[in-house]
Amino acid sequence: MAYALYLLFLLLLIPFSVVAQTNGNITVGASLSATDEASSWLSPSADFAFGFHKLDNNLFLLSIWFDKIPDKTIVWYANEGQPVPRGSRVDLTADRGLVLINPQGEELWKSLSITGAVAYGYMNDTGNFALKDGNSQDVWASFRFSTDTILPTKIMERGEVLTARQTETNFSPGRFQFSLLDNGNLVSYVLNLPTNYANEPYYHSDTNDDANSLNSGSQVVFNGSGYMYILRVNGQRFMLTQGDVVSTTYFYHRATLTYDGVFTQYYQPKNSTGNESWSALWSAPDNICTRSHMTQASGICGYNSVCRLSADQRPICECPPGYSSLDPNDQFSSCRPNFIQGCYDGPGPHSSEDLYSIEELPNTDWPFSDYMHLQPFSEGECRNSCLQDCMCPAAIFRDQTCWKKKLPLSNGRTDRTERSKAFIKVGKGNFPQSPRLIPTPKPRKKNQDTLILVGSVFLGSSVFLNFILIAAIFLGFFFIYKKKVRRIHRGESIVETNLHCFTYKELAEATNGFKEELGKGAFGIVYKGEIDTGSGNFVAVKKLDRMVQEGEREFKAEVNVIGQTHHKNLVRLIGFCNEGSQRLLVYEYMRNGTLASFLFGDSKPSWNMRTQIAFGIARGLLYLHEECSTQIIHCDIKPQNILLDDYYNARISDFGLAKLLMIGQSQTHTAIRGTKGYVAPEWFRNMPVTVKVDVYSFGVLLLEIICCRRSVDMETSGVEYAILTDWAYDCYREGTIEALVEGDMEAMNDRTKLERFIMVAIWCIQEDMSLRPTMKKDLLHSLV
């Protein structure tokens, strides 16, 4: 027993003895693999390790790190910061240096600049990993290819660049760089990604002396004692580190361009027990928010946002009141107004005081985007002038001067030393005012919800009948509206905005005696017809069967309303027939059929096409709800009622008919209109029907467009996925929205948009209709 324990003890000891015996030398032919066990090459003191660092996402980063401290801070990384999967390998070869390959054997990265055959590798106690030739000369060294961090004994030459990572845990190149320029100036600047266009620096050492080039900087030295300075050509030093530096014998030092753009020298005791972490010694610039002036970029933070400095000299980006972040996952995201900006010409109140208020942000400035300079001007005049000016989203006041600003606002900053005061215009009204645009959906009583949805599926008819209906309904209504149409038969010309009044006989001829059925809808059967015989001018003729008999005048009035409704995302009504009991409508013919057959057909349409279709539907609905002279509630938005024209533009059909059928009935409560699965809960609750019912249906439809599946699908999905709205809501809440677009790489790679679409959809299907957005421009904006 004791012997066994002793053996175990010896076994436990083995890894430590390996550590103890390392001399930093790595022989050619050695390799490391990315596995859970520590896999690294150590420096003689074991302060630094080179190898695969396991990241939180179960991937591995080929890198160099401080191995003795608890958080194993990474100081260098290969492969542009791209992590690799488990089972990847790095080999030390004589002819190609370090070679990183994935489990499939594909080469992902190799050390460049090999100037001779490699004899061995060496992990130095300085944190530099070098490849040496037979004469022990470096042929490659990690110090020559610094990523975002430098260590004592590193010298930066002119032209060398440090690039910040994207976030603390995403090591891909971000937009901040720190570089000793060829003219000797040490600078930090922001790149306009994806190009490498560099904006005006927000930090500069001013060690570029055009008149006396001997004064210019030639190197940035981080010496072995932990001091940093710029060495001028004439040998003088421009100290970067101020004051005394704690000894490198007892402290680790590093200097990093952090992902938020601040270059900072840190130290940490070597005998740290796990509690201490890195402390900052100095930073450049001292205040990144107030130092930046980028005329062609958003500044440190995104557009319309404001930068302020945290206690540890790092930037914090915040949206002003009334604005919200475009991408809550991105710290530097731009902000957009939660309300309609600009000169409002819709219905409702128009006075500035009714629509907007002015919020005051003390010690805040947006230094650019002026469109008007007013001086002398009082603070009250400035505030009021912006409020009354529909062009003015914000104004800055300082020293009896008022600058009116236009969007987007850039380089926003707030700081106690800032003497300006900002006035920002904020919309009142229905718009969510909280920093988050999308209200967090109320946890819903799932069973009840499911009941409603399932109930609505079976409403009034059997599943089978529903299926037949959905399959048959509206395979097209539709029609090509060419100018020729106006030459119909009698050569009679009609004014474009006027509807043509057909006789029943004409339409019977055009449809060849109502022979070819295109579809069967809630309002009657649709037939394909041809006007101007032989020239291929197809129309869709809808024979209304459920028309209430009375109401000749109302019919004409409604048809006129529909006829005056022109929008590129609506199917156009060309004419009608009103003869005795016969009522027919003649529409453009849409060659590419319904969105339903397009979405749920055999081949999935591309993500891009789907998003364009969603925009189209939103625009069409916005027009019906807000922009046409008579507001039209569609009441039956579903993929069978969206048609696709020759260019696959979404065209809403059947609008205006709900009203037609309601003639003579009470406006507020009617028999349930609309199609099961898409109807808003208020239909069931004896509540007034408003435009919000369309918003609800649009939300459901949007989810169908995102996922390419029907809102209720009992057959192919499991029980828990059968109701799309519930499933999508669960995925959104659990942060697993990828599951909704499984296998759709295009959608997955467009995560920001995907997430935005899902958020908008969930916003639309709020049970409480007052929480749903209106189809106003802000819903459209949040989609785009």
Ligand X SMILES: *[C@@H]1O[C@H](CO)[C@@H](O)[C@H](O)[C@H]1NC(C)=O
Choose which of 224, 346, 460, 664 interacts with ligand X (CB under 6 A): 224
> Of the ranges 124-132, 189-197, 335-343, 747-755, which one interacts with ligand X (CB under 6 A)?
124-132
- Give the Cα-Cα-Cα angle 589, 595, 600 (nearest 5 degrees): 135
> Of the ranges 206-214, 269-277, 711-719, 741-749, which one interacts with ligand X (CB under 6 A)?
269-277
In terms of CB distance, is 269 or 601 closer to ligand X?
269
Choose which of 21, 273, 603, 770 interacts with ligand X (CB under 6 A): 273
Residue 304 to residue 368: CA distance in whole angstroms = 11
401 is a contact residue toward ligand X (CB under 6 A): no
Choose which of 40, 63, 111, 124 interacts with ligand X (CB under 6 A): 124
In terms of CB distance, is 28 or 687 closer to ligand X?
28
Compute φ and ψ for 446, nearest 5 degrees: -65, -45
227 is a contact residue toward ligand X (CB under 6 A): yes
Residue 341 to residue 709: CA distance in whole angstroms = 36
Nearest to 66 by CA among 151, 160, 143: 151
Phi/psi region, residue 317 (left: phi>0; alpha: psi -120 to 50; beta: rest), is: beta
277 is a contact residue toward ligand X (CB under 6 A): no
Residue 60 to residue 98: CA distance in whole angstroms = 16
25 is a contact residue toward ligand X (CB under 6 A): yes
265 is a contact residue toward ligand X (CB under 6 A): no
State the nearest-atom distance from the C-beta of 28 to ligand X, in Å. 10
Residue 546 to residue 524: CA distance in whole angstroms = 7
70 is a contact residue toward ligand X (CB under 6 A): no
140 is a contact residue toward ligand X (CB under 6 A): no
Find residue 308's DSSP bridge partners: 316
Residue 781 to residue 784: CA distance in whole angstroms = 5
In single-letter form, the type of residue at position 201 comes to: P
State the nearest-atom distance from the C-beta of 202 to ligand X, in Å. 27
21 is a contact residue toward ligand X (CB under 6 A): no
State the nearest-atom distance from the C-beta of 56 to ligand X, in Å. 23
In terms of CB distance, is 131 or 707 closer to ligand X?
131
In terms of CB distance, is 25 or 608 closer to ligand X?
25
Residue 142 to residue 131: CA distance in whole angstroms = 9
Phi/psi region, residue 642 (left: phi>0; alpha: psi -120 to 50; beta: rest), is: beta
State the nearest-atom distance from the C-beta of 244 to ligand X, in Å. 10
225 is a contact residue toward ligand X (CB under 6 A): yes
307 is a contact residue toward ligand X (CB under 6 A): no
In terms of CB distance, is 270 or 753 closer to ligand X?
270
In terms of CB distance, is 311 or 719 closer to ligand X?
311
Q: How big is the site for ligand X, counted in residues (CB under 6 A)?
A: 18
Residue 776 to residue 779: CA distance in whole angstroms = 6
In terms of CB distance, is 78 or 118 closer to ligand X?
118
Residue 479 to residue 500: CA distance in whole angstroms = 14
In terms of CB distance, is 241 or 420 closer to ligand X?
241
State the nearest-atom distance from the C-beta of 188 to ligand X, in Å. 23
269 is a contact residue toward ligand X (CB under 6 A): yes
State the nearest-atom distance from the C-beta of 31 to ligand X, in Å. 18
**189 membership: H or E segment, kind and range:** strand 186-192
> Of the ranges 223-231, 305-313, 542-550, 580-588, which one interacts with ligand X (CB under 6 A)?
223-231
Choose which of 130, 220, 297, 424 interacts with ligand X (CB under 6 A): 130
Helical pair 692-707 and 751-764, crossing angle rounded to 10 deg: 150
Find residue 783's DSSP bridge partners: none
State the nearest-atom distance from the C-beta of 444 to ligand X, in Å. 41
275 is a contact residue toward ligand X (CB under 6 A): yes
Choose which of 6, 10, 23, 295 interacts with ligand X (CB under 6 A): 23
Residue 43 to residue 22: CA distance in whole angstroms = 7
Restricted to residues 84-123, the positions that interact with ligand X (CB under 6 A) are: 120, 122
End-to-end CA distance of the chain: 71
* Active-site pick, 47, 91, 636, 694: 636
What count of other Cβ atoms lies within 10 Å of the Cβ of residue 402? 22
Restricted to residues 617-676, the positions that interact with ligand X (CB under 6 A) are: none
Q: Is 636 a known active-site residue? A: yes
Choose which of 16, 250, 458, 467 interacts with ligand X (CB under 6 A): 250
> Of the ranges 47-55, 221-229, 325-333, 631-639, which one interacts with ligand X (CB under 6 A)?
221-229
> Of the ranges 58-66, 224-232, 382-390, 457-465, which one interacts with ligand X (CB under 6 A)?
224-232
Strands (E), 596-665: 642-644, 650-652
Residue 123 to residue 35: CA distance in whole angstroms = 21
> Of the ranges 218-226, 280-288, 556-564, 723-731, which one interacts with ligand X (CB under 6 A)?
218-226
Compute φ and ψ for 719, nearest 5 degrees: -55, -40
Question: C-alpha distances in angstroms, 495 versus 165, 448, 490, 564, 584?
Answer: 63, 52, 15, 12, 20
State the nearest-atom distance from the C-beta of 250 to ligand X, in Å. 5
In terms of CB distance, is 23 or 236 closer to ligand X?
23
Helical pair 607-622 and 751-764, crossing angle rounded to 10 deg: 40
Sheet holding 217-222, edge to edge: 155-157, 217-222, 228-232, 237-239
153 is a contact residue toward ligand X (CB under 6 A): yes
Helix (H/G/I), strand (E/B), else coil: 35: coil
DSSP character for 55?
Answer: P
State the nearest-atom distance from the C-beta of 127 to ligand X, in Å. 9
> Of the ranges 13-21, 217-225, 473-481, 596-604, which one interacts with ligand X (CB under 6 A)?
217-225
DSSP character for 409?
Answer: P
User: What burial class does residue 152 get, using C-beta atoms within 10 Å of its C-beta: 0-12 exposed, 13-18 middle, 19+ buried?
Assistant: buried
State the nearest-atom distance from the C-beta of 57 to ligand X, in Å. 28
Phi/psi region, residue 654 (left: phi>0; alpha: psi -120 to 50; beta: rest), is: left
Strands (E), 226-278: 228-232, 237-239, 251-257, 263-269
State the nearest-atom distance from the C-beta of 42 to ligand X, in Å. 13
Q: What DSSP assignment string belongs to 500-542?
A: EE--HHHHHHHTTTTTSEEEEETTEEEEEEEESTTS-EEEEEE
- Beta carbons of 216 and 183 less than 8 angstroms apart: yes
> Of the ranges 265-273, 309-317, 607-615, 714-722, which one interacts with ligand X (CB under 6 A)?
265-273
Q: Is 446 annotated as a binding residue?
A: no
222 is a contact residue toward ligand X (CB under 6 A): no
Contact residues: ligand X, CB under 6 A: 23, 25, 120, 122, 124, 126, 130, 136, 153, 223-225, 227, 250, 269, 271, 273, 275
Q: Which residues are annotated as a binding site?
A: 543
Q: Which residues are annotated as a binding site for ATP?
A: 543
- Which residues are catalytic, by number? 636
